[in-house]
Amino acid sequence: MRLGKSLTFTFQVITAGLALAFVAVILKPELLGDLAPPASPPPATVTALSASMAPAPGSYADAVARSAPAVVNISTAKVVTERPNPLFQDPLFRRFFGDGPGGTPRQRLETSLGSGVIVSPRGHVLTNNHVIAEADQILVQLADGRVGEATLVGADPESDLAVLEIDLPDLPQILVGSSEALRVGDIVLAIGNPYGVGQTVTMGIVSATGRSQLGISTFENFIQTDAAINPGNSGGALVNASGELVGINTAIFSRTGGSQGIGFAIPTTLGQTILQQIVDHGRVVRGWLGVEIQEMTPDLAESFGLDSAAGIIIAGVLKGGPADRGGIEPGDIVTEVAGKPIDDPARALNLIVRLAPGERVVLKGWHQQAPAEWTVEVDERPKNGTR
């Protein structure tokens, strides 16, 4: 009983104390004094610091800003004459149906879209030959919205490259990097005008280098990338993570016509050589020996009585050509051109075309199973010529 009274008294005292404390805080809040926690600093300071910091890791915005202004959209137009339907040439058909509209040639305007890259302050634009082939009019639109008509300086179907020139003030120019420094796994960006939607940037890596024997062009040394490349990207820029041009986007491997993650670009090492020759000569000047060559295989080497399959077999010699004048005959085996060994037809072709017309070069190899040496004066390679 006494314990119950004690608890009741204690509870009454605590309740009265809390009530008095509450009234005191309401009437005189300053009594809290230093018990209140310090005010938190405004978050605006943190936001201001974040805005002044560098872009987040993994961003390639600086590379795009550095290169994209020099990537242009190209639109072409050409007049195509359609042949009349052969049925209208048949007298019996014309007797019954007369000379309908299908009996006379008709003309229509054909347009196409692509991309290009401004590579010099003189307004030279590097693009693909197939983008501008047979075009009657070529218009170039810059990233800043300006549009100008372009003139064709020269084209090289064998490498699928062409050089245009535009006359506009204050043209941006892309910084050209080294395609030879590329390694498989390097980040690359493809910039162009896919499907005509406007300038677009896609990202990927270098999947392979030195791709050849794809049947795209005569001279092939492609950079393979999985950056999305679609129709309209042709002639656009492939740039590295620093925004430097390393390739000209050229083709895709696709079963549907869309990107499948396998795209090919012409490296800048070849692009710069073609550009310089077209600007200097209006065409590409290549060496030519006038031979047809065949790959050497182990079985063929054994049949020729050779221990090694190095070199190429001369399958044919053009009468009166450089090789014929130098004494080379069908069945001869060439293992060295101008001091450089060759082990396949692709390398042989690349070595021969780099020779200067009029230059005298030494070829080494085998003639009727005996070591042989020939001195040949190089001619200029004709269009669609032999090696």
- If you average pLDDT over residues 319-336, what whole number do you get? 93
Say if 338 falls within a structural domain.
yes
pLDDT value at residue 52: 43
Q: Of 217, 216, 387, 213, which is closest to residue 313 (Cα–Cα)?
A: 387
Kindly state the tokens that stand for 146: 């300006």
Q: Tell me, what's the pLDDT at 49? A: 36
Closest CA to 172 of 245, 279, 272: 245
List 124, 130, 156, 332, catalytic entry: 130
Task: Show the tokens assigned to 68.
Answer: 């994209």
Is there a single domain that holds both residue 224 and residue 275?
A: yes
User: What pLDDT does 7 receive?
Assistant: 46
pLDDT tens for each residue of 115-146: 999 999 999 999 999 999 989 999 999 999 99
Within-domain flag for 364: yes
Compute how many other C-beta atoms are within 10 angstroms of the C-beta atom of residue 348: 22
Question: Of the residues 112, 179, 234, 259, which is catalytic?
Answer: 234
Q: Which of 333, 177, 353 is nearest to 265 (CA)?
A: 177
Q: Across all residues in the chain, what is the average pLDDT?
A: 82
Q: Is residue 293 located within the same domain as residue 238?
A: no
Residue 275 and residue 301 in one domain: no
Does residue 221 share a domain with residue 307?
no
231 inside domain: yes
**Under a CB-based contact definition with an 8 Å cutoff, are residues 74 and 118 in contact?**
no
- Better-scored residue on pLDDT, 271 or 107: 271
Is position 191 within any domain?
Answer: yes
Q: Cβ distance 91 to 129 under 8 Å?
A: no
Q: Which residue shows structure tokens 């009454």?
A: 12
59 an active-site residue?
A: no
Whether 360 maps to a domain, the answer reads yes
Q: What is the mean pLDDT of residues 180-191?
A: 94
Is 178:246 a contact under the CB 8 Å cutoff? yes
Largest CA distance in the chain: 136
Residues 271 and 335 in one domain: no
Q: Where is the domain boundary, 225, 259, 281?
A: 281
State which H helix or E strand residue 130 sits in.
helix 129-132
Of all residues in the chain, the percent with pLDDT exceeding 70 is: 76
Q: What is each CA distance from 351 to 38, 274, 286, 317, 361, in whole angstroms? A: 79, 15, 10, 18, 11
Task: Provide the pLDDT for residue 267.
Answer: 95
Instruction: List Cβ neighbours of 281 (8 Å cut-off, separation of 6 or more).
Output: 154
Q: Are residues 294 and 372 in the same domain?
A: yes
DSSP string, 18-56: HHHHHHHHHH-GGGGGGGSPPPPPPTHHHHHHHHTSPPP
Report yes or no on 355 lying in a domain.
yes
**For residue 28, pLDDT beyond 60:** no
Q: With bands split at pLDDT 50, 70 and 90, how would you rate the model's confidence at 216?
A: confident
Which range of residues forms the domain containing residue 372? 287-380
Of 231, 256, 281, the domain-final residue: 281
Active site residue 130: yes
Q: 361 with 374: CB under 8 angstroms?
A: no
If phi > 0 it is left, if psi is from -120 to 50 it is alpha, else beta; for residue 2 that is: alpha
Q: How confident is the model at residue 80 (pLDDT cuts 50, 70, 90)?
A: confident
Domain boundary among 258, 281, 304: 281
H or E element that contains 97: helix 91-97
**Whole-angstrom distance, CA of residue 201 vs CA of residue 193:** 9
- Kindly state the average pLDDT of the residues 204-215: 86
308 and 342 together in one domain: yes
Q: Which two tokens stand for residue 265?
A: 């670009």
Please check the confidence at residue 114 and state whether its pLDDT lies above 80.
yes
Same domain, 315 and 271: no
Candidates 305, 303, 301, 287; CA nearest to 386 is 287
Nearest to 191 by CA among 135, 127, 277, 96: 127
Type of residue at 244: E
Co-location of 184 and 277 in the same domain: yes
Q: Is residue 50 scored above 60 in pLDDT?
A: no
- Output the pTM of the full model: 0.72
| Mean pLDDT, residues 41-47 taken together | 41
pLDDT bracket for residue 302 (50, 70, 90): confident
Predicted local confidence at residue 94, as pLDDT: 61
Closest C-alpha to 114, from 249, 226, 223: 249
How many domains does the chain divide into?
A: 2
Does 218 map to a domain? yes
Tell me if 343 is assigned to some domain: yes
Query: Residue 124 catalytic?
Result: no
238, 190 contact by CB (below 8 A): yes
Catalytic residue among 156, 160, 226, 379: 160
Q: Is the pLDDT of residue 29 over 60?
A: no
Q: What is the CATH number of the domain that holds 320?
A: 2.30.42.10
Q: How sure is the predictor about 39, in pLDDT bands with cuts at 50, 70 and 90? A: very low
Q: Are residues 300 and 239 in the same domain?
A: no
167 or 15: which leads in pLDDT: 167
The dihedral over CA atoms of 84, 85, 90, 94, expressed in degrees to the nearest 10, equals -80
Judge if 185 and 276 occupy the same domain: yes
Q: Which helix (H) or strand (E) holds 295?
A: strand 291-295
CATH, residue 212 = 2.40.10.10
Are 296 and 270 found together in one domain? no
